[in-house]
């Protein structure tokens, strides 16, 4: 089988030169799927992998626009409609000077599996433009967005392709894009997600990733007949994800003892309660202060500054049962992973994107702890995007509680997919395999069902 | 020899002459316009003499035509005027040639008319001796004492005349532009105070700051005529005051003294005039004492001046702003510079740059979060490019004067600081955030202009900069052009705006200071010596920053041959480790790498955060070997680069004017070598020159600095 994968990767490189990001993404996915492809030759004979790596459609278009000085600018716009086997294409738009076809293909490819894993009916896509929004006036951004949508509108729709925001595309840009679509089509439909709350957006977006990773941890514990109540938890970071992870953990009766930022971390043995969390939220979201200030307010807590020369992060060295890495990439290396195990941690749910290094993951898997990889545990954000689509289709807005309940349900489903898939492929309890294969299978089976199209 | 020189019409001095200095003095007086204006005919005969503008005007009316032609053809009038700092007249006459006039009479009349008109004009903005009868509490500017006014006061006087002469106060409807009323204690008051209290020798020799302050506070003798005038001044002005230093050497073009001496603010609201006078005198003593504090002494050591040469003038100026409960502050404080070393297209360096903040100017002076904008392009705000950038870079707190506070509560004590910090919620309550604020909505991941919606507040100045609620960019643009023209050099201005005025009244734009812009000592005329390409590590025509760096011995360079785009996160960690070590050793370095520094996308560059490269003084960004990426020109770290004065080179081509000598970098021996990164250290410094005006920069190899 590895020869098959090697040949496939060689072929991808030959037919997609100068797209190293895409090569690497295909290579990682193909290798992680060798278990499936070994067991199920039908996927191979149906050339699912060969089909899945080829975008269904690439739209590349000219975006000419005139700025307030009368100067004409030409940018290049893209929409990669990667795969629509399980639902309309869904994925962000990125406005950044680095945008090119290769990068968008790579992002769209990853999006297919990410969306599939949420269990919601969303295909995968990605788009954007090489515009550099830095230092541009609102008017320039508006004119650009209008010009961009003046072409894109004919390719997207609530049942075809529903873009979202990404780098360089926030609430402001989504607003301008939506306005232009509405004008051209003369219809108010949910063709974009990330919309303003007062015109079709969904609640619980800032909370989604943090809440989701806690729900995922709770599900993992359930497999051992346990709950989060009374568990001591290590949380890293102090941004959105960490804050809402902490909030949900407190609600579910767990005790959070750490939070961090790029300068250091605090350890509060008594636990961070609602009042303390409110202080952190104000400190980080309003005052934009450092986490160090926590110990000035609560002197019983201990602050430890980051030692960049150290080979490990002492935050992961405290005794606890659960860990929620919610800060950044590669924040848990092999040594940290070992320290976690030594400190009694047996649940790791990743709120951040790829916070654990590859050899760190190996330690978790070897020790057979409950390890929820980011692509499953932090899918809450994508899930709420899907819920925004659902609300738009129904022309109805759910309350905060309703969205939260639905998010909880989705995280349960993701967990189930991971567990069932891992079981089916002979690696019970291996959530990494479960997530990789589970995301792929849903798409692959749909493609098989729909014939060669 | 002397005959030959005379024949050629040039001056001649013998360097061995026993009277060389005297002859040189005479030469300077006669030829550089420092002495009288001597009217001569072509054969050198003196036909008239003028020692000031008035006599010049008189003489112009009577000297022969021939003499007027002779001097006009040689630009003598404009040179002489320039030497007397009469720049406006000098500039006016300079481009005019004798042949531009139909007759000598016309030329003569034009000269007389303009000099006359100019003298009249200057009378209007003149700095007169303080007199209670004609001092307007709104915007008069007067002096107490007869010595020099000091650097800042001269600048204020210049602005005052500018505003008055060109009727700038009324140029913008609904806006009153003025210099807040002030009196200046001239430097002879300082001399007298030191003498009467016998402080000079003590202050020069004492090294303990606390001791100096307490001796000055106890030195009560003050010239009685000065006290009488201050009493009169206080009887007219009952609003808060700023007491600023205005030393002789401050704000000179070549020595940036800003921040060396003290400024105090006092509420000046006690019902008892004696109490107000006491407080004012104490602050004046404190400003005087600051001349001799260690900070000032240390600073003078690195300049070419001696402490004895320094004399202190004091500006006592009405504080601009409005009272909100027990706080007093202006809605806006800011600094504008007519030259921008970090222009981002379409801005040009000469379009200038402004930094503004809510509340007192402490936020701006101390480098807090401010709004940075180019008055020509006020809607292009790079710091607010994304929601997270906005939240990160926007002002969160502001400074105001505690109106109820007392500066000084007893003898021999360190004064209380009455300038206090407040959260934005207070500004919202005071209604001062209306034209300055925006709203961050975490739910929508967006920042909205204005504060009509629910959400957390951030200071972006959006209603002013984007929605023209107040013509701040236009006013600043005007002052920068006027200032540059009037001072004949790039200028820096300080200002405050009070929008909290009663309904129907004009909003206030107050000019607080104008000074020649300190461009670092080499700026403006950085020479790039002729050198072979072999002597250069890197050269570019896309460089941000300005100045000369001659004490860097280290280079941290990403090995271009080993560089792997898939490994850029590991490279970031390597660089971070070297950075930490160099910071611990207190060594700055030059950072050279490929791709966009600080890129969000690790495939397009090295995704370092600022703290991972914080020790770099010069950063070089170069293209990939195999792949073209639009350079960032430092935009990821723009705030830090500008705040810390970092040099930022972009090398995205390979021509004679724009290159990196990779081969030399690879061959140089590393003292530390990681998988992708090398740390080079040299015995001799790596000279780096950047001309902010030309956007050009060169990094020389270590042997270049002999």
B442–A262 CB contact, under 8 Å: no
Cβ count within 10 A of residue B526: 20
Residue B651 DSSP one-character state: E
Nearest chain B Cα distance for residue A263, angstroms = 9
* Same domain for B412 and B375: yes
Q: What is the pLDDT of residue B524?
A: 46
Q: CATH number for the domain including B171?
A: 3.30.1490.20
Q: Is A170 on the interface with B (CB under 8 A)?
A: yes
B566–A330 CB contact, under 8 Å: no
Q: What is the pLDDT of residue B256?
A: 45
* Same domain for B72 and B57: yes
Within-domain flag for B18: no
Within-domain flag for B269: yes
Q: Is B603 on the interface with A (CB under 8 A)?
A: yes
B445–A285 CB contact, under 8 Å: no
* Same domain for B159 and B47: no
For residues B662 and B493, is the Cβ–Cβ distance under 8 A?
Answer: no
For residues A99 and A65, is the Cβ–Cβ distance under 8 A?
Answer: no
Residue B130 pLDDT greater than 60, yes or no? yes
B237 φ/ψ angles, rounded to the nearest 5 degrees: -115, 115
Q: What is the pLDDT of residue B522?
A: 43
* Same domain for B392 and B504: yes
* Residue B302 CB partners (closer than 8 Å, separation 6+): none
**Domains defined along chain A, listed by start:** 55-189 (3.40.50.10860), 206-377 (3.40.50.720)
Cis ω before B240 (30° cut-off from 0): no
Query: Which among B392, B456, B466 has CB closest to A138?
Result: B466
Longest dimension (CA), chain A: 67
B465, B484, B518 - which closes a domain: B518
* Residue B452 CB partners (closer than 8 Å, separation 6+): B439
Residue-wise pLDDT for A232-269, tens only, equals: 999 999 988 999 999 999 999 999 999 998 889 999 99
Q: Is B467 on the interface with A (CB under 8 A)?
A: no
Cα-based angle B25, B247, B420 (whole degrees, multiple of 5) = 160
B485, B518, B551 - which closes a domain: B518
For residues B121 and B105, is the Cβ–Cβ distance under 8 A?
Answer: no
Residue-wise pLDDT for B595-616, tens only, equals: 888 876 677 788 887 778 888 9
B101, B124, B147 - which closes a domain: B124
Distance CA A414, CA A233 (A): 22
Q: Which of A2-11, B291-300, B441-450 has the lowest average pLDDT?
A: B291-300
Query: Which among B379, B441, B580 has CB closest to A309?
Result: B580
* Same domain for B120 and B134: no
In the block, which residue shows the tokens 């994508």? A382
Residue B409 DSSP one-character state: -
Nearest to B535 by CA among B699, B347, B668: B699
Report the Cα A168 to chain-centroid distance in Å.
Answer: 17
Residue numbers in A near B563 (CB within 8 A) = none
| Residue of B393, B446, B462 to mutate when probing chain A, most A C-beta within 10 A | B446
Question: Strand, coil or helix: what is B327?
Answer: strand
Residue B260 pLDDT greater than 70, yes or no? no
DSSP strand E in B393-516: where?
397-402, 419-423, 437-441, 446-449, 456-459, 491-498, 507-516
Distance CA A57, CA B364 (A): 52
Confidence of residue B523 (pLDDT cuts 50, 70, 90): very low
Residue B585 DSSP one-character state: T
State the residue range of the domain holding B91: 32-124
Q: CATH number for the domain including B451?
A: 3.30.470.20
For residues B545 and B647, is the Cβ–Cβ distance under 8 A?
Answer: yes
B552 φ/ψ angles, rounded to the nearest 5 degrees: -105, 130
DSSP readout, B80-130?
Answer: HHHHTT-HHHHHHHTT--GGGSSSHHHHHHHHHHHHHHHHHHHHHT--EEP
Nearest to A248 by CA among A339, A370, A349, A384: A349
Q: What is the pLDDT of residue B614?
A: 83
Q: Is the ipTM of this complex over 0.85?
A: no
Distance CA A130, CA A126 (A): 13
Confidence of residue B253 (pLDDT cuts 50, 70, 90): very low
B443–A133 CB contact, under 8 Å: no
Q: What is the pLDDT of residue B409?
A: 62
Distance CA A388, CA A373 (A): 25
* Same domain for B631 and B552: yes
Within-domain flag for B433: yes
Distance CA A240, CA B342 (A): 33
Cα-based angle B543, B544, B550 (whole degrees, multiple of 5) = 80
A69–B445 CB contact, under 8 Å: no
Residue-wise pLDDT for A377-430, tens only, equals: 999 989 999 999 999 999 999 999 999 999 999 999 999 999 999 999 888 999
* Same domain for B696 and B549: yes
For residues A170 and A145, is the Cβ–Cβ distance under 8 A?
Answer: no
Within-domain flag for B23: no
| Best mean pLDDT range from B17-31, B174-188, B202-216 | B174-188
* Same domain for B654 and B551: yes
Cβ count within 10 A of residue B171: 14
Distance CA B676, CA B660 (A): 18
Query: Number of C-alpha atoms within 13 angstroms, CB side, residue A407?
Result: 33
For residues A213 and A377, is the Cβ–Cβ distance under 8 A?
Answer: yes
Residue numbers in A near B382 (CB within 8 A) = 134-135
Query: Which among A97, A137, A201 has CB closest to B379?
Result: A137
Q: What is the pLDDT of residue A438?
A: 94
Within-domain flag for B556: yes
Rounded to whole angstroms, what are the CA distances from B652 to B248, B495, B637, B659?
Answer: 47, 40, 18, 8
Q: Which 330-369 residues of chain B touch chain A by CB within 8 A?
A: 344, 346
- Strands A370-372 and B327-329 turn out to be unpaired
Residue-wise pLDDT for A143-190, tens only, equals: 999 999 999 999 999 999 999 998 888 889 999 999 999 999 999 999
Distance CA A76, CA A66 (A): 14
* Same domain for B81 and B54: yes
Please identify every residue of A annotated as catalytic: 126
Residue B639 pLDDT greater than 70, yes or no? no
Residue B254 pLDDT greater than 50, yes or no? no
* Residue A134 CB partners (closer than 8 Å, separation 6+): B344, B382, B385, B635
Element (H, E) at B536: strand B536-540
Q: Which residue of A has its CA nearest to B372?
A: A135
| Best mean pLDDT range from B229-233, B249-253, B534-538 | B229-233
Nearest chain B Cα distance for residue A24, angstroms = 8
Within-domain flag for B461: yes
Residue B581 pLDDT greater than 70, yes or no? yes
Rounded to whole angstroms, what are the CA distances from B5 to B13, B26, B268, B318?
Answer: 10, 17, 66, 59
Residue B688 pLDDT greater than 70, yes or no? yes
HEC readout, B233-298: HHHHCCCCEEEEEEECCCCCCCCCCCCCCCEEEECCCCCCHHHHHHHHHHHHHHHHHHCCCHHHHH
Within-domain flag for B7: no
Q: What is the pLDDT of residue B704?
A: 66
Distance CA A80, CA A60 (A): 8
Within-domain flag for B450: yes
* Same domain for B467 and B421: yes
A305 φ/ψ angles, rounded to the nearest 5 degrees: -75, 150
For residues B50 and B67, is the Cβ–Cβ distance under 8 A?
Answer: no
Question: Strand, coil or helix: what is B672?
Answer: strand
Task: Identify the burial level of B323 via C-beta atoms within 10 angstroms of its C-beta, where 0-12 means exposed, 13-18 middle and 19 or more buried.
Answer: middle
Q: Which of A225-239, B81-95, B149-163 has the lowest average pLDDT?
A: B81-95
User: For residues B444, B447, B449 and B453, what is the CA-based torsion angle, rounded to 10 degrees?
Assistant: 40
* Sheet of strand B437-441: strand arrangement: B446-449, B437-441, B456-459
Distance CA B348, CA B693 (A): 9
Q: What is the pLDDT of residue B148?
A: 78
* Same domain for B38 and B87: yes
Question: Strand, coil or helix: what is B518?
Answer: coil
Which residues are bridge partners to B37 per DSSP? B50
HEC readout, chain A: CHHHHHHHHHHHHHHCCCCHHHHHHHHHHHHHCHHHHHHCHHHHHCCHHHHHCCCCEEEEEEEEEECCCCCEEEEEEEEEEEECCCCCEEEEEEECCCCCHHHHHHHHHHHHHHHHHCCCCCCEEEEEECCCCCCCCHHHHHHHHHHHHHHHCCCCECCCEEEECECCECHHHHHHHHHHHHHHHCCCCCCCCCCCHHHCCCCCHHHHHHHHHHHHHHHHHHCCCCCCCCCEEEECCCCHHHHHHHHHHHHCCCEEEEEECCCEEEECCCCCCHHHHHHHHHHHHHCCCCCCHHHHHCCCCEEEECCCCCCCCHHHHCCCCEEECCCCCCCECHHHHHHHHHCCCCEEECCCCCCECHHHHHHHHHCCCEEECHHHHCCHHHHHHHHHHHHHHHCCCCCHHHHHHHHHHHHHHHHHHHHHHHHHCCCCCCHHHHHHHHHHHHHHHHHHHCCCC
Cβ count within 10 A of residue B412: 10
Distance CA A311, CA B588 (A): 25
Nearest to B414 by CA among B563, B227, B217: B217
B396–A287 CB contact, under 8 Å: yes
Q: Which two tokens stand for residue B221?
A: 């003798």
In percent, the amount of chain A with pLDDT more than 90 equals 74
In the block, which residue shows the tokens 């002789």? B248
Residue B647 DSSP one-character state: E
Q: How many domains does chain B have?
A: 4
Q: What is the pLDDT of residue B416?
A: 67
* Same domain for B77 and B161: no
């Amino acid at each position: 089988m590895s020869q098959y994968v090697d040949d496939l990767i060689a072929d991808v490189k030959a037919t997609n030169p100068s797209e190293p990001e895409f090569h690497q993404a295909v290579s990682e996915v193909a290798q992680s799927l060798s278990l499936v492809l070994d067991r199920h030759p039908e996927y191979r004979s149906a050339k699912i992998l060969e089909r899945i790596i080829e975008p269904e459609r690439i739209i590349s278009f000219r975006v000419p626009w005139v700025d307030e000085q009368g100067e004409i600018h030409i940018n290049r716009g893209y929409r990669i409609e990667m795969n629509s086997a399980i639902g309309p294409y869904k994925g962000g738009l990125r406005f950044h000077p680095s945008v090119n076809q290769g990068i968008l293909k790579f992002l769209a490819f990853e999006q297919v599996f990410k969306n599939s894993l949420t269990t919601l009916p969303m295909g995968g896509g990605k788009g954007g433009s090489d515009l550099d929004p830095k230092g541009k006036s609102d008017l320039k951004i508006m004119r650009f967005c209008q010009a961009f949508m003046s072409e894109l509108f004919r390719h997207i729709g609530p049942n075809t392709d529903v873009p979202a925001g990404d780098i360089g595309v926030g609430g402001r840009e989504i607003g301008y894009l939506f306005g232009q679509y509405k004008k051209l089509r003369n219809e108010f439909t949910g063709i974009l997600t990330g919309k303003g709350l007062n015109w079709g957006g969904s609640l619980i977006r800032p909370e989604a990733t943090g809440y989701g990773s806690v729900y995922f941890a709770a599900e993992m514990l359930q497999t051992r007949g346990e709950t989060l109540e009374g568990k001591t938890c290590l949380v890293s970071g102090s941004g959105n994800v960490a804050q809402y992870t902490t909030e949900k953990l407190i609600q579910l009766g767990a005790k959070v003892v750490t939070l961090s930022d790029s300068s250091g971390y605090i350890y509060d043995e008594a636990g961070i309660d609602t009042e303390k969390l409110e202080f952190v939220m104000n400190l980080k979201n309003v005052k934009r202060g450092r986490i160090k200030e926590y110990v000035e307010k609560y002197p019983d807590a201990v602050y430890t500054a980051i030692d960049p020369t150290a080979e490990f992060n002492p935050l992961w060295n405290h005794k606890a049962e659960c860990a929620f890495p919610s800060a950044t990439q590669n924040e848990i290396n092999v040594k940290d992973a070992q320290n976690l195990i030594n400190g009694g941690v047996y649940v790791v749910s990743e709120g951040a994107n790829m916070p654990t290094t590859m050899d760190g993951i190996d330690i978790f898997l070897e020790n057979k702890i409950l390890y929820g990889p980011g692509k499953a545990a932090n899918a809450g954000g994508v899930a709420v995007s899907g819920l925004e689509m659902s609300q738009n289709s129904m022309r109805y807005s759910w309350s905060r509680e309703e969205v939260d309940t639905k998010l909880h349900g989705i995280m349960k489903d993701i967990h189930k997919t991971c567990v069932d898939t891992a079981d089916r492929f002979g690696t019970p309890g291996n959530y990494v395999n479960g997530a990789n294969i589970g995301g792929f299978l849903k798409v692959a089976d749909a493609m098989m069902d729909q014939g060669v199209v | 020899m002397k005959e030959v020189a005379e024949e050629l019409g040039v001056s001649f001095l013998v360097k061995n002459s026993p009277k060389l200095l005297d002859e040189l003095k005479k030469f300077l007086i006669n030829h550089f316009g420092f002495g009288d204006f001597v009217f001569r005919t072509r054969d050198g005969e003196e036909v008239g003499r003028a020692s000031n503008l008035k006599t010049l005007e008189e003489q112009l009316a009577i000297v022969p035509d021939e003499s007027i032609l002779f001097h006009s053809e040689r630009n003598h009038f404009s040179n002489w005027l320039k030497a007397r700092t009469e720049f406006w007249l000098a500039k006016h006459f300079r481009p005019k040639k004798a042949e531009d006039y139909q007759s000598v009479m016309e030329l003569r009349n034009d000269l007389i008319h303009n000099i006359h008109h100019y003298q009249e004009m200057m009378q209007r903005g003149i700095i007169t001796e303080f007199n209670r009868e004609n001092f307007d509490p709104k915007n008069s500017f007067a002096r107490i004492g007869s010595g020099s006014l000091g650097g800042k006061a001269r600048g204020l006087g210049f602005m005052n005349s500018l505003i008055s002469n060109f009727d700038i106060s009324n140029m913008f409807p609904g806006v009153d532009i003025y210099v807040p009323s002030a009196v200046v204690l001239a430097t002879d008051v300082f001399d007298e105070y030191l003498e009467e209290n016998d402080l000079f020798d003590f202050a020069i020799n004492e090294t303990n700051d606390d001791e100096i302050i307490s001796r000055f506070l106890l030195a009560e003798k003050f010239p009685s005529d000065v006290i009488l005038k201050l009493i009169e001044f206080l009887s007219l002005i009952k609003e808060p005051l700023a007491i600023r230093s205005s030393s002789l050497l401050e704000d000179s073009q070549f020595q940036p003294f800003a921040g060396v001496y003290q400024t105090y603010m006092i509420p000046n609201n006690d019902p008892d005039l004696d109490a107000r006078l006491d407080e004012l005198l104490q602050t004046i003593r404190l400003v005087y004492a600051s001349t001799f504090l260690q900070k000032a002494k240390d600073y003078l050591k690195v300049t070419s001046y001696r402490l004895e040469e320094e004399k202190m003038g004091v500006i006592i100026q009405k504080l601009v702003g409005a009272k909100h409960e027990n706080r007093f502050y202006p809605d806006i404080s800011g600094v504008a510079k007519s030259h921008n070393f970090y222009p981002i297209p379409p801005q040009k360096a000469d379009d200038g740059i402004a930094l503004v903040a809510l509340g007192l100017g402490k936020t701006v002076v101390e480098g807090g979060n401010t709004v940075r904008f180019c008055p020509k392009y006020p809607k292009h705000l790079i710091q607010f490019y994304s929601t997270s950038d906005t939240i990160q870079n926007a002002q969160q707190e502001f400074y105001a004067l505690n109106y109820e506070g007392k500066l000084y509560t007893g003898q021999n004590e360190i004064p209380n600081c009455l300038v206090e910090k407040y959260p934005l919620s207070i500004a919202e309550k005071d209604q001062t955030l209306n034209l300055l604020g925006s709203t961050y909505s975490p739910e929508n991941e967006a920042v909205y202009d204005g504060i009509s919606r629910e959400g957390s507040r951030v200071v972006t100045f959006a209603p002013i900069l984007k929605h023209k609620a107040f013509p701040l960019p236009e006013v600043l643009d005007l002052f920068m052009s006027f200032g540059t023209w009037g001072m004949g050099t790039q200028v820096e201005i300080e200002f405050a705006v009070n929008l909290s005025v009663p309904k129907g009244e004009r909003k206030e734009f107050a000019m607080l200071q104008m000074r020649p812009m300190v461009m670092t000592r080499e700026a403006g005329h950085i020479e790039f010596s002729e050198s072979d390409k072999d002597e250069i590590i890197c050269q570019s025509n896309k460089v941000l920053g300005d100045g000369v760096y001659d004490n860097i011995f280290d280079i941290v360079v990403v090995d271009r041959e080993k560089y792997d785009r898939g490994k850029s996160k590991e490279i970031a960690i390597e660089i971070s480790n070297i950075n930490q070590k160099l910071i611990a050793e207190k060594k700055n370095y030059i950072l050279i790498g490929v791709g966009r520094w600080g890129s969000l996308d690790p495939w397009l560059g090295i995704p370092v955060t600022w703290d991972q490269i914080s020790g770099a003084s010069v950063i070089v960004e170069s293209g990939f070997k195999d792949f073209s990426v639009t350079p960032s020109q430092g935009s990821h770290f723009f705030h830090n680069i500008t705040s810390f004065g970092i040099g930022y080179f972009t090398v995205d081509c390979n021509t004679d004017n724009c290159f990196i000598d990779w081969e030399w970098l690879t061959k140089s021996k590393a003292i530390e070598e990681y998988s992708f990164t090398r740390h080079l250290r040299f015995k001799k410094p790596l000279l780096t020159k950047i001309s902010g005006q030309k956007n050009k920069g060169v990094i020389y190899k270590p042997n270049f600095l002999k």
